């Protein structure tokens, strides 16, 4: 493969663009310049660290190490889902809702792809397992975060309508039904937009990376189609599961709306 290597100077020059954008934010009083610089620093450190970890993992292929890294990725993703909510569930539910939904959806879809579609030997080969799981977790995380945030916001805004339906004899499933469907749609919109625009408006990241690394374009396209379908499935199943579980949590055994199970983020 004809791969053009990058050095530190190349990355430093690219970082000047971020510094310029942070400076523009300061001039325009947007209030996100510091956040942008911190995020850029985190990106650099986190990616360098994962690069070193993957280098060691590729040299020492073992299921235990793959499971350990995958578990860390899931735990971090669960936290990111929780902290992005304007009104989050209290207690362990705030964390478990996103983490368990991603575990059921992303992990099952990843294992299916590794064992039945890609068929790497062994199936947990880190070169395939970790990037695939990372893409699935990242997109599923976004879908679940958006959908749960929409669900809790709608439940809060429409609490009087929901309680009125409960008084009229509706059960919790019907009373929250419209809000739940709207939340599910909100979580799936990003991946639907990504699939609709792929190849016309944008060239997806995995495909672009493979082409830059020297992979024949047609092979890169095949992998990207596979990834897009897997991401859609993981995001869709994870969103449905998270929203259903979240909507059920909003009601107690006597079918009363329990908004005290939510708290507004600081």
Q: What is the pLDDT of residues 139-150, one digit of tens each?
A: 899 999 999 999
Please tell me whether the overall predicted TM-score, pTM, comes out greater than 0.85 for this model. no
Is residue 231 within 8 Å of residue 142, measured between CB atoms? no
Summarised one tens digit per residue, pLDDT across range 22-61 is: 898 889 888 888 888 998 999 899 889 988 988 888 888 8
pLDDT for the residue 83: 80
Summarised one tens digit per residue, pLDDT across range 79-101 is: 888 887 788 888 788 788 888 99
Task: pLDDT band for 71, please (50, 70, 90 cuts).
Answer: very high
Q: What angle do CA 261, 265, 266 make, to 5 degrees?
A: 140
Is residue 144 within 8 Å of residue 238, measured between CB atoms? yes
Task: pLDDT band for 266, please (50, 70, 90 cuts).
Answer: low
Query: 213 vs 30, which has greater pLDDT?
Result: 30
pLDDT for the residue 31: 82
Summarised one tens digit per residue, pLDDT across range 161-195 is: 998 998 988 889 899 999 999 999 999 998 898 88
Assess whether pLDDT exceeds 70 at residue 222: yes
Is residue 211 within 8 Å of residue 220, measured between CB atoms? yes
Summarised one tens digit per residue, pLDDT across range 114-143 is: 998 888 889 999 888 998 998 899 889 999
pLDDT for the residue 5: 75
* Segment 212-233 mean pLDDT: 84
Is residue 223 within 8 Å of residue 204, measured between CB atoms? no
* Segment 243-252 mean pLDDT: 91
Is residue 8 within 8 Å of residue 44, measured between CB atoms? no
Beta strand residue intervals within 147-266, DSSP E: 262-264
Q: For the chain, which residues make up each domain, given as ranges?
A: 1-60, 62-264
- State the burial class of residue 45 (Cβ atoms within 10 Å of its Cβ: 0-12, 13-18, 19+): exposed
CA–chain centroid gap for 226, Å, is 18
pLDDT for the residue 85: 79
- State the burial class of residue 82 (Cβ atoms within 10 Å of its Cβ: 0-12, 13-18, 19+): buried
At 61, is the secondary structure helix, strand, or coil?
coil
How many Cβ atoms are within 10 Å of 137's Cβ, its own excluded? 26
Q: Which residues contact 181 (CB under 8 A, 6 or more apart)?
A: none
pLDDT for the residue 2: 61
Task: pLDDT band for 265, please (50, 70, 90 cuts).
Answer: low
């Amino acid at each position: 493969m004809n791969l053009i290597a990058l050095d530190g100077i190349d990355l430093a020059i690219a970082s000047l663009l971020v510094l310029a954008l942070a400076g523009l934010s300061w001039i325009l009083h947007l209030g996100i310049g510091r956040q942008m610089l911190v995020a850029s620093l985190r990106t650099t450190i986190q990616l360098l660290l994962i690069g070193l970890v993957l280098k060691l993992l590729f040299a020492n292929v073992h299921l235990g190490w793959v499971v350990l890294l995958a578990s860390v990725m899931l735990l971090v993703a669960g936290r990111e889902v929780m902290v992005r909510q304007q009104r989050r569930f209290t207690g362990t539910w705030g964390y478990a809702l996103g983490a368990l939904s991603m575990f059921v959806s992303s992990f099952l879809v990843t294992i299916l792809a590794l064992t039945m579609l890609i068929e790497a030997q062994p199936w947990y080969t880190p070169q395939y397992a970790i990037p695939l799981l990372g893409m699935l977790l990242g997109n599923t995380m976004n879908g679940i975060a958006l959908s749960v945030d929409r669900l809790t916001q709608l439940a809060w805004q429409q609490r009087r309508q929901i309680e009125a339906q409960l008084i009229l004899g509706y059960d919790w499933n019907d009373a929250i039904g419209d809000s739940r469907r709207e939340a599910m749609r909100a979580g799936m919109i990003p991946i639907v937009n990504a699939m609709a625009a792929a190849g016309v408006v944008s060239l997806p990241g995995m495909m672009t990376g493979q082409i830059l690394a020297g992979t024949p374009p047609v092979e890169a396209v095949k992998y990207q189609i596979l990834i897009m379908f897997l991401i859609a499935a993981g995001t869709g199943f994870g969103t449905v599961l998270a929203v259903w579980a979240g909507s059920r949590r909003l009601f107690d055994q006597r079918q009363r709306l329990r908004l005290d199970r939510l708290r507004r983020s600081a």
